[in-house]
Amino acid sequence: MSDLVTRLRRHNWRITPQRRVIAETLEGSHVHFTAEEILERACERMPELSRATVYNTLNEMVALGEILELTLEGRSKRYDPNADHEHHHLICEGCGLMKDVHTVADPVDWLPGDERHGFAVNRASITYRGLCPDCRAA
């Protein structure tokens, strides 16, 4: 059973077949899919699954804090099942390949007090960009 399903169950969330397929599709991959990609893959296992259910379910899982919504480039949001583990993203400017990465310390500490404009700053996400090994060689 998917670990994400276990976590969702703890929110008194009804685990329907549709939600299980969506959660397992998300968790079974190491790339961050768009909603359409999740729909496409989940439909291989459950062809009658509707687009609205995928969008609803993803939005609810984000609201529960169990997955992360990533707004990176491109027009579509991506979803990251790894919500409980602080990490950032490294994106190849050539081919779009994305990797999860970890920094040596919390980036919030690198924002001086006089740059905070009175905000209560509580988190930060970093998007690194560069060229992956294949695109460097090409």
Partner DNA sequence: TCCTAACTTAGACTATGTCTAAACTAAGAA
Partner DNA sequence: TTCTTAGTTTAGACATAGTCTAAGTTAGGA
Which parts of 78-137 interact with DNA (CB under 7 A)?
A: none
- Which of DNA, its own copies, none sits in contact with 49, Cβ below 5 to 8 A by type? DNA
- Closest to DNA by CB, 13 or 107: 13
41 vs 87, beta carbon nearer its own copies: 87
Verify binding: residue 35, DNA, rule CB under 7 A.
yes
Q: What angle do CA 41, 52, 59 make, to 5 degrees?
A: 85
67: CB partners within 8 A, 6+ apart: 4, 26, 58, 61, 79, 80, 81, 83
Q: Where are the alpha helices (DSSP H) in 34-115?
A: 35-45, 51-63
Length of the chain: 138
Q: Segment contacting DNA (CB under 7 A): 24-32, 51-59, 95-103, 127-135?
A: 51-59
51 binds DNA (CB under 7 A): yes
Q: Can you say whether the dihedral through the CA atoms of 118, 121, 125, 126 is positive or negative?
A: positive
Tell me the Cα Rg of the chain: 17
Distance CA 130, CA 98 (A): 10
85 contact, one of DNA, its own copies, none, CB 5-8 Å limit per kind:
none
What residues numbered 7-66 form the site for its own copies, per CB under 8 A?
none
Contact window for DNA (CB under 7 A) among 28-36, 91-99, 105-113, 119-127? 28-36
Binding site for its own copies (CB under 8 A): 71-74, 90, 92, 99, 101-105, 107-108, 110-112, 115-133, 136
